[in-house]
Copies of this chain bind each other. A is one copy, B any other.
Amino acid sequence: MPRISEKGAQMPASPIRKLVPYAEEAKRQGKTVYHLNIGQPDIATPAVVNEAIRNYDEEVLAYSLSAGNLSYRKGLANYYQNKNIPVNTEDILITTGGSEALLFAIMSCMDPGDELIIPEPFYANYNGFAQTAGIVVRPVTAFIDNGFALPLIEDFEPLINERTKGILICNPGNPTGYLYSKEELKQLRDLVAEYDLYLIADEVYREFCYDGAEPFSVMNLDGIEENTILIDSVSKRYSMCGARIGALISKNEEVVSTALKFAQARLSPPSLAQLAGEAALQTPQSYFDSVVTEYEGRRNIMVEGLNQIPGVRCPKPSGAFYCMVELPVQNAEHFCQWMLDSFDHNGATVMMAPAAGFYKNAAQGIRQVRIAYVLNNESLHAAVECLKEGLKVYPGRIDQMVKDNFEIGPSIA
């Protein structure tokens, strides 16, 4: 029997989907499971999208251009221009989800062994794309104490060497929900300009900013137009994750034309979903207004509820629909599994994503979880209550362990 590759063996399994078997078992036992573990919103896709799909009328479901339909690229350029983000049709390559856009960006700019600096915690699948492309992730740690703000530039600089090709950020951030300020982005701009690095920005949560905050795109950073690559996706913006339509965008023509060669090899992005994505451009502003109001309310319920639980810490995020939560437990992954297989509160339990997988150095996230507030208010209230009750009786609590140790002997804590 032939062996699989080292690349494949080293490929990380999704930390977000890792606990799925325990959740399935919990459901088999009749428990209600509140899914706070995955960024699949419950928000309805805009009506214009469904209408376009239901009006589909092509005799042949044919390939599109490898770069995506021209009419869609034109419409998308218009979407950015309306937000004062300078993007033209020729800067855009339509991809199969933001995932493919990021993979094309990495492979177009980086060779195996090259290094990419990423503030951690970061979206776990960045590890998978790095492994796929054979590049090395160099993390620079952001901390819960200041809500996961951009690490100091002094923390980036020691990581830069001759193999360093770029910096990757997610803004607003998954998993932190942190929205980088214009000032933070300008600090990154100066760093990128000084070392002539690529700045790749995953801005798929652009529409989800709260308390009146305005997102600032890397495409609006002056002087690094040739260094900047924007990764985008329709998945979260229009709650159409299943479409698998994203975009790679850059003013650097060589990057776009190189990415196009990878795109030609896979022929074209999905045609039906492009039709849906193009229709989504007609989504009225009222849709976004109500979605943002909804998420803002959910965030408030979640963050306030969590911070009232003894020993729990959760900074208030300004964007996306995630929060990072520090729990009074020794090992958050064990706690998440215990919640599924050993606990229920009134027949219900909560599924969360252990945060270790969002760090390159897993130990940094050992006590943290990522929570996605993608359920309605009632469910969120119930989930917080359930988490609170679970923490009361969980045997691996930190204060519980300290107490146990104290009772046994003084020197183990």
Contacts and interface: CB of A to CB of B under 8 A. Distances in A.
Interface of A: 1-2, 4-9, 11-14, 17, 38, 40-45, 49-50, 53-64, 66, 96-97, 99-100, 103, 107-112, 114, 125, 128-129, 132, 134, 165-166, 196-198, 226-227, 239-244, 252, 254-255, 258-259, 261-262, 264-273, 276
A134 B132 contact: no
Nearest to A234: B61
Contacts of A268: 241-242, 244
Copies in the complex: 2
B112 A2 contact: no
A55 B55 CA distance: 9
Given A1-B196, A62-B241, A128-B265, 18 more contacts: A1-B226, A2-B165, A5-B109, A7-B110, A8-B108, A8-B262, A14-B265, A40-B60, A50-B58, A54-B55, A54-B57, A100-B266, A125-B265, A129-B265, A244-B269, A244-B270, A270-B270, A270-B273
Q: Which of A13, A129, A270 has the most CB of B within 10 A?
A: A270
Contact of A60 (B1, B38, B42, B258): B42
A132 to B, nearest CB: 7
Q: Which of A226, A227, A255 has the most CB of B within 10 A?
A: A255
A110 B7 CA distance: 8
B63 A40 contact: yes
- Complex A-B, nearest 10 residue pairs according to Cβ-Cβ distance, in ascending order: A242-B271, A128-B265, A8-B258, A14-B264, A61-B240, A11-B261, A99-B266, A8-B108, A1-B226, A270-B270
Contacts of A11: 258, 261-262, 265
B62 A40 contact: yes
Contacts of A252: 1
Nearest to A108: B8
B6 A111 contact: yes
B267 A270 contact: no
A157 to B, nearest CB: 17
Q: Which of A4, A53, A64, A241 has the most CB of B within 10 A?
A: A4
Contacts of A265: 11, 14, 99, 125, 128-129, 132
9 contacts: A1-B252, A4-B254, A8-B109, A54-B54, A61-B239, A100-B266, A129-B265, A243-B270, A243-B271
Contacts of A4: 108-109, 254-255, 258
A59 to B, nearest CB: 5
Contacts of A54: 53-57
B262 A132 contact: yes
B17 A264 contact: yes
Contacts of A264: 13-14, 17, 125, 128
B198 A2 contact: yes
A54 B58 CA distance: 11
Contacts of A132: 107, 262, 265
A7 B226 CA distance: 19
A318 to B, nearest CB: 25
A114 to B, nearest CB: 7
Contacts of A62: 40, 241-242
Nearest to A5: B111
B258 A66 contact: no
B129 A2 contact: no
Nearest to A50: B56
Contact of A242 (B64, B110, B242): B64
